[in-house]
A and B are shown apart, each in its own frame.
Chain A
Amino acid sequence: MGLENKRQIVENVETFDSMLARVKEAERIFSTFPQEKVDEIFKAAAIAANQARVPLAKLAVEETGMGIVEDKVIKNNYAAEYIYNAYRYTKTCGVIEEDKAFGLKKIAEPIGVIGAVIPTTNPTSTAIFKTLLALKTRNAIIISPHPRAKKCTIKAAQIVLDAAVKAGAPEGIIDWIDVPSLELTNLLMKKSDIILATGGPGMVKAAYSSGKPALGVGPGNTPAIIDESADIVLAVSSIIHSKTFDNGMICASEQSVIVDKKIYEEVKKEFLYRGCYFLNEEETEKVRKTILINGTLNARIVGQKAHDIAALAGVEVPLGTKVLIGEVTNYDLSEEFAHEKLSPVLAMYKAENIEDAFVKAEHLIADGGYGHTSSIYLNVHTRQAILDEFQERMKTCRILVNTPSSFGGLGDLYNFKLTPSLTLGCGSWGGNSVSENVGVKHLINIKTVAERRENMLWFRTPEKVYIKKGCLPVALNELKEEMDKKRAFIVTDSFLYKNGYTKPIEDKLNELGIVHETFFDVAPDPSLASAQAGAKQMAEFKPDVIIALGGGSAMDAGKIMWVMYEHPEVDFMDMAMRFIDIRKRVYKFPKMGEKAYFIAIPTSAGTGSEVTPFAVITDQNTGIKYPLADYELMPNMAIVDTDFHMTAPKGLTAASGIDAVSHALEAIASTMATDYTDGLAKQALQVIFEYLPRAYDNGLEDVEAREKMANAATMAGMAFANAFLGVCHSMAHKLGAFHHVPHGIANALMLEEVLRFNASEQPVKMGTFPQYDHPHTLARYASVADFLKLGGKTDEEKLENLIKAVNELKARVGIKPTIKDYVPDEKDFLDRLDAMVEQAFDDQCTGANPRYPLMEEIKQMYLNAYYGNKHFQEPEMPGKKK
């Protein structure tokens, strides 16, 4: 006991401050202890506290004049044994959790100095409980005892401290205020790192208003309902057992019992049989006036025997009386029996039915025990619905079933998953920060160490992509031979239909014996109305296969009709909702393919829609375009048959071809680009640069050029189906929507600006994606230039050569250089520019761009592309060019 001699009595601010300095020094050392050492200390302290359970219980009763020695022995024993047992293997030091694959670690750190307020009702057990929790979590703890229980509280703390120090804990890791005063308690609250306040509402409020994090708990007013289905013998004995425990001083203990009238007399008889006293009307009145003074509990009855409380009220009852029961009807605050009594005094209510019992219980909880504990006795097998309603309606953080509530609320005694604790949180209802039983997890800071990880990417294509000139009839054989399809629905536009493009398909279907019907009213920029018309026709025809034939418009319209046909309930606003990550989007796209198989057959080389999960549809009333994106929209089969491409007109060949160039270049620059998409995109570019001029010049005859272009467009489609696009498409989409510039042309007009914009080594803002670790798009473009053998020594030179090659290709296939060439009305362009900028910024394609564009930057690109006389300018930056 050398320590006690060294300690200075803490009785004023000066001695408190020097004590605090010692405790902080002890904590500084303790906070570095490893788990094994902490566990040894925890164990030694728990053993010492357990061994002192009887003397501490005697001391507590002697000093406070409340409670029962034998019950306090249980509480002390519980606080030592159950707390040790619950946390003996719990990791509280250093790394407590690790997920290597995800790169996440959780590290437990002590909080520092715990300020602990200990109540008079459980002065030794609460001290044991809190000091053990502190030791297990490597915290220091300073106890503010209640002046009425200071001797026993300090003794308990001393015992735990001595054992802890003997086992290696730093001296002074537990300390206390010897002469408690409000001033010192407030000082403790202000100076500690966290407050563990158990006590009256005044104390808890002070803790919460101290400005420090506080774990305070509230008062209880536990009602116990005895349902008609209850085991009466079990219920009554449980309640008596609980209510008499330490003379009713556990805050979770029953304050009222609410009994269904069907079993009321039987319950009453059982209470009598087991030694409870029913007060008559006159006696009830006498006790009523004794238990409360001006609405507050009379201190003289707290923790006293039933007999002594009765005597105080002038009522004579047998000495061994277990509980005084007042049969009362009023359950609001004007009834004294409806309050918390902290003594073996119980209110008993007769309920008309279970609903009446619930109403009474709710009222009692709201008035005196919001958030604390409620209890019910019933047959859980036959009355599950009643239990469900009870648990839903009671605003208490512990809901106990067929369980003595004082023991039950403490946890691990009547239910072995409920955390053992002597500090029971009451949630926000009770004005507390915790709603569960307080334990070690509330006393550690957890640091989360998160290592950078890259997103999983993917490569997805239609399950079948058939290529080569003349492959259509071979591919369609599968519809009969492998899939046994019976009804085919063809979607195309009127030009293709009237010019006999659908004929080879129809012939083949006839040959296969598949009935078919054709919708040929798809317009460029397909409208919702035309998709709805097609879907209506589809709904009547009920196809099991859909064949979309045409350019992007027909294939997109086919996809939309497919959605409407399979899921007529869907809302386009929901499906078109902008997302950051296609896998985390709010909207869950409906499952496709349950009614029909989808085949896409392109008739021009560019769009790539036959292999992409995208479709754009326009609401003809509002002009709003809905860009839909989901892998559910991916066609099941793509048939790339050059026979359909041969007659494509020059303009279409040029625009589609340049569209494919922009697909490939954006897929390469995308933050989501992979080796898979890079290979496809680069190969597509090489082919297009070589064969587009030939397909443009001599498309009707040059089968090789057409076939190369068809494949290149589909390959570029596969690249951007997985890497997605970028700001070039965002701006092209809005140029198309605002000024009806054809899609491929619109991309062509923006390409140079975007190449320069994305290539910046010092972008104002880079794209957010873990894989995209620094602005490296310049090098990416340079690698394209190398692949295309365009020459150049530095990356900058290579970029210039790439831009030059793109511009030459555009000119070679008849595309004019500026937006102004296509949108001559300058005033109109400028008037609506800001709106166009904002919409382009918010386009779905912007997300994958390697550079996150500011609206001002988009505006600059539009203006540069409009006039064509200057190029994108960065703001001045301090860094030098590499």
Chain B
Amino acid sequence: MKLDNVIAVRKNKTVYKDGDLCYKVFDSTYSKSDILNEALNQARVEETGVNIPKLHAVTVIDGKWALVYDYIEGKTLAQLMEENPDKLDEYLNILVKTQMSIHKKRCPLLTLIKDKMTRKISLTDFDTATKYELHTRLNSMPTHNKLCHGDFNPSNVIITPDGTPYVIDWAHATQGNASADVARTYLLFCLDGQNKIADKYLDLFCKLSKTDKRYVQRWMPIVAASQSVKGHDNEREFLRNWVNVFDYE
């Protein structure tokens, strides 16, 4: 095992490649329970049959916790979109269909999205009235049990040379409403400044899954509130704007 081939660096974690395996090494700021939870999520999702890298081990390397899983050969959809802007529609189509195929799966032991969102709303620093409205809104959403990735975006989808999409990074996986998952993807595009692609993506999802766009939109203040907990200063005003809506009376 040689950890010298860095293939990705994220805040607080680094991914190395060694042969056919990846080593996701967390730095010490990461809580042990979060790491084990990610491993457990990944193992559970793996059992649903979704195309994801197979988890081989949870281990400690030089005092740091690490997950060991298959290396997937290929490029992410984010890379492909950047390299071939003319093929955007084709890639969006793959993105949406991959996401819909995940939503078809059931994974009953994962956290419920409504539980997670309830917790997140309570953690925000919005005023009491806003939290009250967010909680009320969330409470009125139906309770579903679809497998949701929770951080689904083009950089988490790898297309292998034979064209098979693999989905990585299941730290935020939950079960619940597909529309919440889609609202989150939409938000990620918007936060990335890709508003036009976001709209295209949303329209395509609604069309292919026959979902009323309003239903996805009802989740947007909630996913925005949840995102605000992460506390990126540059996103604060943007997210506050999304949250500051009024329920019809």
Contact = CB atoms under 8 A, between A and B. Distances in A.
Interface of A: 119-121, 146-148, 180-182, 185-186, 198-203, 205-206, 219-220, 249, 251, 293-300, 302, 333, 340, 342, 368
B246 A147 contact: no
A333 B136 contact: no
Contacts of A206: 136, 139-140
CB-CB nearest 8 A-B residue pairs: A200-B247, A219-B248, A202-B140, A295-B217, A148-B129, A296-B245, A182-B135, A147-B129
B164 interface: no
Contact of A297 (B213, B220, B241, B245): B245
A165 B247 CA distance: 35
Contact of B221 (A120, A181, A186, A296): A296
A296 B220 contact: yes
B136 A342 contact: no
B5 to A, nearest CB: 42
B247 A199 contact: yes
B132 A199 contact: no
Contacts of B245: 293-294, 296-299
B196 interface: no
Contacts of A296: 217-218, 220-221, 245-247
B220 to A, nearest CB: 4
B247 A295 contact: no
Given A182-B136, A201-B247, A296-B246, 5 more contacts: A147-B128, A182-B135, A203-B140, A206-B136, A295-B220
B184 to A, nearest CB: 13
Contacts of B129: 146-148
B247 A202 contact: yes
B244 A186 contact: no
Nearest to A147: B129
A293 B128 contact: no
Interface string B201-227: 000000000000110011011000000
A200 B217 contact: no
B11 to A, nearest CB: 27
Contact of A293 (B137, B242, B247, B248): B242
- Contact residues of B: prevailing secondary structure: helix
A298 to B, nearest CB: 6
A365 to B, nearest CB: 14
Nearest to B138: A202
B242 A199 contact: no
B249 interface: yes
Contacts of B137: 200, 202
Given A182-B139, A202-B137, A333-B213, A294 B246 contact: no
A875 B234 CA distance: 88
A251 B221 CA distance: 22
Contacts of A368: 248
Interface in B162-215: 213-214
A120 B136 CA distance: 14
Contacts of B247: 199-203, 296-297
Contacts of B242: 293-294
B132 A181 contact: yes
Contacts of A249: 249
Interface string B30-42: 0000000000000
A181 B130 CA distance: 11
Contacts of A201: 140, 247-248
B244 A299 contact: yes
A146 B132 contact: yes
Contacts of B136: 182, 185, 200, 202-203, 206
